[in-house]
Structure 1
Amino acid sequence: MTGGGRAAGVPVVAIVGRPNVGKSTLVNRFSGRRDAIVEERPGVTRDRTTHTAEWRARRFTLVDTGGWLPDWAEGRGHLAEEVSAQAERATATADLILFVVDATVGITEEDAAVAAWLRERGLAVLLIANKSDRLSDPNHPQAEVAELYRLGLGEPHAVSALHGRGSGDVLDLVVDRLLEMDAFARAAEAVDDIPGIALIGRPNVGKSSLFNRLVGEDRVVVDAAPGTTRDAVDTVVRTADGRAYRFVDTAGLRRKARLRSAEATEYYSSVRAVQALDAASAALLIVDAGEGVGEQEQKLARQILDAGRALVLVLNKWDLVDAEQQDHLDRELDRLLNFVAYAPIVRTSATTGRAVQRLLPAIDGVLGEWTRRVPTSRLNDWLADAVAATPPPMHAGRAVRIRYGTQVSVGPPRFRFFSTGDLEPTYLRYLERRLRESFGFAGTPLDVGVKVRPRWEERSGR
């Protein structure tokens, strides 16, 4: 099983540099979105995050990285070392690297260290002098950035990520260089249409540790502090037998009440997590077995249900709870998450790796059910039996007849039953229960509805 840092079929451009030189602002400028979190303080971006950009009808993936301090991170704490390691890994999978420096500061010790690291490895690099709008003569920035030639990475290209000045020129350079390298043709061989799997859960339940187990590399910075993962992080995983998944690790989702008063970083992280869920086919709802199920887990499960996504419940840190706690958690699941009782449960430990190997088969299972289609003839044979066993209740004093049913779509499965009158919600739930008993649909929500055609009753009375 391997983790890849690219969107399927497109080249990868990694944006690296020391902290607070404007890498995430540049990503947002190039991608035309606000996926990357930006604040006026260093260290906001911690993990590698991927974003899609398009220029001159050419699509490519931008990889935003945390502040990179090769060798300089040592002694600054575990998190700084891990963030720097993430940036180094990003260069390993990139076709082209944009090395960003602050044009208003000039060459720093950290810049020189990064440049030396890049030169030693002979990587394809464009040197970007950001914040050129703050120079004394922003209309003629090249003279003031000339000292950057000393980095040994070729011509510095002046740009203002904040205001967009020079961004089109840099994008032209990016596309031209990728074309010269034949990167678009090589990347087009990658498999497309890969299902997205969102890792969802409140902060500090072990999402990032589980993510790293699944993708087979330490792609996400794992730290004990809640909320370490700020952005949504995409990684394509391919198994030995050719299956592929796009895993998205998101910042811990918080309740809306907390969002309104949270700092901007928390707000945009949560928005990005919701977007990740919307783009996914399935979700892993990760629960800390030691903490149990609470209001937040209920809300997240409801959000996944409302989004119509397939679901696997993951009870993480299972190795840390005793038999009594396990029984209590099982009762909590029955009581608080009964509305997603269809979801399979995997009890695992991301730290030890226990039962992690069961997750991919569970994901395959729920994706298969999410796209299951029941032939119309078989569905109507089933419907006749279900109605004979329990006829629909009367509506407005008249008997309700269900003429036929059909499955209108998959992902999730949607069924519509055509009747002479409204069907009560309790009866629709009965039909859903019978559908699950007969056809399975483990791990997927079902959309069961009614289409009323009262004229049928009028015709039958003639």
Structure 2
Amino acid sequence: MAALGLDPGEFVSADEDDGYPSGADGDPESGGLLPAPVLAVVGRPNVGKSTLVNRLIGRREAVVQDIPGVTRDRIAYDALWNGRRFTLVDTGGWEPDATGLQAAVAAQAEMAIQTADAVLLVVDASVGATATDEAVARVLRRSDRPVLLAATKVDDDRLTSDTAALWRLGLGEPHPVSGLHGRGSGDLLDAVLDALPESPRDLPGTGVGGPRRVALVGKPNVGKSSLLNRVSGEVRSVVHDVAGTTVDPVDSLVDLDGEVWRFVDTAGLRKRVHMASGMEYYASLRTRAAIEAAEVAVVLIDASEPIAEQDQRVIGMAEEAGRALVLVFNKWDLVDEDRRLAMKRELERDLVRVQWAERVNVSALTGRSVAKIAPALRTALASWDRRIPTGRLNGWLAEVIAATPPPVRSGKQPKVLFATQAQTRPPTFVLFTSGFLEAGYRRFLERRLREEFGFTGSPVRISVRVREKRGRKS
């Protein structure tokens, strides 16, 4: 800008919140750390597993509510104790003889044990060992994993002596702990580190820098967990015809089209966050956090039904977060010719603001076109990472403005003096001008940017910096 005789101090923002970066380029953390050993936390419903998990990881991540069965899938959290990292996997209530939805939850707990390096069985010390606890202990005694026993809800000395009765489970010394108050949690963590190996049993090859992070979002019952199970090739998330089965975000490393991706299956957004309550409120917050922590959002939409307000709201969340975007229309096996025509009208009417998003029509049930998701993710992320050289950008901009000048404002036509790409992820462009540019003209420039440079699947942000008028010198 110095070569053009421009002083950066002469410019002020034309937008109250224009997205112009105040510091670093906003790149997310690399995620390139080596894999950590895994501890699976299991136990029957409502013994306080998620409360204990929050205490052990030192932050409130797992959804907690005073009713049984809130946690259903297996959810992984990063933990750190005495300088050692490990992954802690929270599971739903495990009942070996369960049926229906609870049987699917129990299957997730059993799979967590099979993929863990050590297991922590949680028992409610205020109740003592139940028949279910004894059945779970019998299964764990047959496994080849180290097993620790935690007696929870030991909030004071009165219950400490009662934990001795848990020796009869045959899993060694019970560790009295209070997930609510933190009593005994340090001793338990020391025992966990002693039981865990230095490195996990399996080290999946995820490449340098770690896998790209994908948030799988959408309204309840559109098939997010079914799609995750389809692309992963295993039952990774609990699937049931009851809407809202998933509560916590569920992380999965998925090998898709020869590349490892980190998929996060999230709870369906049923209500606006300020209208939700209880576990639904915390699930909504975690879904929003999952989008913000991801690099690309896959918004799943039920193709067999009209596009709903919730669908548009989820898309808006991903767009506002500045994430790359892929729209996946699921249940395509249920779409007939009439529905295709109706959907075309809905796309033109309801999703006009995200015409740039990648679109894929799939069926999680039959596997139709699921293989097309990976190329769509790569296209969207390539656009999200794209940077345009400043010289090329200004040369192109001069041609566009010469052909279509900005509209006159207050009797004067604003001039675009200089342009630069301030950051990637998402691509953000700053225009230094002599006057304010109308929103319509900025949309015109965005449309021409996309036509010239691509940016398919990524939001593009354009902000304006207006040169201040110099005051007369006295």
- Which residue does 2:247 correspond to in 1? 230
Distance 2:436 2:106 in 1: 61
The residue identity in structure 1 corresponding to 2:244 is G
| Aligned 8 A contact 2:297 2:324 in 1 | yes
SS of aligned partner of 1:144: helix
Q: Find the aligned partners of 1:324 and 1:383 in 2 and give their Cα distance.
A: 43
Deviation at 1:277, TM superposition (A): 0.7
Q: Distance in 2 between matches of 1:208 and 1:334?
A: 28
CA distance in 1, matches of 2:65, 2:122: 17
Structure 1 SS opposite 2:132:
helix
Q: Deviations over 1:58-102 (max 9, x none)?
A: 2222111001122x22xxx32111111000111122122111111
Residue 360 of structure 1 corresponds to which residue in structure 2? 374
CA contact (8 A) 2:35 2:199 kept: no
CA distance in 1, matches of 2:119, 2:424: 41
- Does 2:189 align with 1:163? no
Identical columns (%): 51
1:195-254: per-residue Cα shift (whole Å, max 9, x none)?
Answer: 22111111111111111112221111100011111111111223473x221111111112
Q: CA RMSD in A?
A: 2.2
SS at match of 2:227: helix
The yes-or-no answer on 1:269 pairing with 2:283 is: yes
Whole-Å separation in 1 of the counterparts to 2:446 and 2:210: 30
* Aligned residues of 1:199 and 1:247 also touching (Cα < 8 A): yes
SS, match of residue 407 in structure 2: coil
Which moves more between the two structures, 186-195 or 156-165?
186-195
**Other-structure match for 1:3:** none
Q: Could you say what secondary structure the match of 2:155 adopts?
A: helix
Q: Distance in 2 between matches of 1:169 and 1:236?
A: 31
- Is 2:393 the counterpart of 1:393? no
Partner of residue 69 from structure 1, selected from 83, 95, 102: 95
Q: TM-score, normalised by structure 2?
A: 0.88
1:123 aligns with 2:145: yes
1:413-452 aligned within 5 A: 413-452=427-466
The answer as to whether partners of 1:19 and 1:42 remain within 8 angstroms in 2 is yes
Match of 2:109 in 1: 87
The answer as to whether partners of 2:153 and 2:177 remain within 8 angstroms in 1 is: yes
The superposition leaves residues 27-80 of structure 1 with CA deviations (integer Å, 9 ceiling, x where unpaired) of 11112222211122221111111222222222222111001122x22xxx3211
Per-residue displacement from partner, 1:286-325 (whole Å, max 9, x unpaired)?
A: 1111112122222221111111011111111111021111
- d(CA) in 2 for partners of 1:121, 1:177: 14
Please state whether the residue corresponding to 1:133 is helix, strand or coil: coil
Partner of 1:278: 292
Matched, 1:204 2:259: no
Contiguous gaps of at least 5 residues in structure 2: 1-31
C-alpha distance in structure 1 between counterparts of 2:232 and 2:271, whole Å: 28
User: Relative to structure 1, is the Cα distance of residues 60 and 456 closer, same or farther in structure 2, using a 3 angstrom cutoff?
Assistant: farther
State the TM-score, normalized to the length of structure 1.
0.90
Partner of 1:24: 50
Say whether residues 1:41 and 2:67 are aligned partners: yes
The one-letter amino acid paired with 1:62 is: L
Q: Which amino acid aligns with 1:250?
A: T
Residue aligned with 1:313, SS: strand
Q: Is 1:292 aligned to residue 306 of structure 2?
A: yes
Change (3 A) 1:190 1:430: closer
Please list the CA deviations of residues 324-359 of structure 1 after superposition, one character each: whole Å capped at 9, or x if unmatched: 111101210110010001012111111111111111
User: Which protein has greater RCO, CA pairs closer than 8 Å, 6+ apart?
Assistant: 2
Aligned equivalents of 1:48, 1:219: Cα separation in 2: 8
Match of 2:347 among 333, 343, 352: 333
CA separation of 1:33/1:455 partners in 2, compared to 1, >3 Å: closer, same or farther? same
Q: Work out whether 1:311 is the aligned partner of 2:329.
A: no
1:8, distance to aligned residue in structure 2 (A): 6.0
Corresponding letter in the other structure for 1:389: A
Aligned mates of 2:110, 2:470 — CA distance in 1: 68
Report the alpha carbon displacement of residue 399 of structure 1 after superposing the two structures with TM: 2.7
Whole-angstrom CA distance in 1 between matches of 2:226 and 2:421: 39
